[in-house]
Amino acid sequence: MNFIKVSAIITVYNESDLIKRAIISLLNQTLVDIEIIVIDDGSSDDTPEVLSMLELSETRVRIISNGRIGRASALKLACEEAKGEYIANLDADDIAYPERLELQATFLDNNVDHAWVGCGEERRDSQRNEHINRIYPLTDIEIRRQCAKCIPYTHSGVTFRKSLIDEGLNYDPNQPYLIDFDFFLRVAKHYKVANLPQVLACRYVRNESFFQSRFKTQKQNRKLAKFGLQAVWWFKLPPHYIIYPLARLIYPMIPNFIKEKIRASQGLSESKGLS
């Protein structure tokens, strides 16, 4: 390939049953000038064999196996290896809809002052027993405000400029939790960000996911509160926005049906997904 518009990156650890589905969703994109970089983070199941077969059959797939380095380091490595003008993340157990990369690349082409663009998601959440479509805030100012309340994008639906990596902005390999949110906030501190209104990714939230199983809800919410306070300070949000990060500390104790109402009132548009 002489020209690569988008480098799609996947980090994977022991997802032999699902990784092929994720890669095929990228191979089926309407945008063809892409490469797919998969970092195998030391998988001990059949993932390496599945990846090897895909790499042999498709020239756009590149597999990198460096042993167990952790997800944050794997994301950082994937970005450093990327050759495209833009980088698009997809988690190993998720799916990119066919027009995702084309629509996001077009947006970044036409909005040179924006460095990062997300999209809506179809969310299949076995932890909450939810199947919904979620649309995130769309504009830069709305997203900045949302940062004080919750994560304002889906990580499996983000595309950003490779130039960020070239200038030293990348995932922090020392971050144990909320790796992507830390990176996002540092990007948004310097550049405009946006979300597209279309649902362009399907995200699966599963207890079986190794990464999800490592989450400790209390620690995660403390970290979210810290990042929320950081957003209030960095983005010069109104002082009363401090209440949102503090409320994050009691959020896990609220029943799910009330959480749905809270999310709706704070700018997350959700509708029931199709079965």
Tell me the residue range of the domain where 124 lies. 6-272
pLDDT score for 219: 78
Global pTM reads: 0.88
For residues 216-239, average pLDDT: 89
- The CATH number of residue 162's host domain is 3.90.550.10
Structure tokens at 34: 């892409």
Domain assignment of residue 10, yes or no: yes
Number of domains in the chain: 1
Distance from C-alpha of 245 to C-alpha of 73, rounded to nearest angstrom: 27
Q: 192-206, pLDDT tens digit by residue?
A: 999 999 999 999 985
Indicate the DSSP class of residue 191.
S
Distance from C-alpha of 125 to C-alpha of 131, rounded to nearest angstrom: 6
Domain assignment of residue 101, yes or no: yes
What average pLDDT does the structure give for the chain?
89
Domain assignment of residue 40, yes or no: yes
Angle, alpha carbons 10-13-18 (nearest 5°) = 70
Name residue 116's beta-bridge partners: 160, 193
- 211 pLDDT band, cuts 50/70/90, is very low
Distance from C-alpha of 225 to C-alpha of 1, rounded to nearest angstrom: 44
- 212 pLDDT band, cuts 50/70/90, is very low
Does position 185 have pLDDT exceeding 70, yes or no?
yes
Domain assignment of residue 121, yes or no: yes
Domain assignment of residue 1, yes or no: no
Cβ atoms of 114 and 107 within 8 Å: the answer is yes
- 252 pLDDT band, cuts 50/70/90, is low
Domain assignment of residue 220, yes or no: yes
Q: 26-45, pLDDT tens digit by residue?
A: 999 999 999 999 999 999 99
Domain assignment of residue 214, yes or no: yes
For residues 229-253, average pLDDT: 87
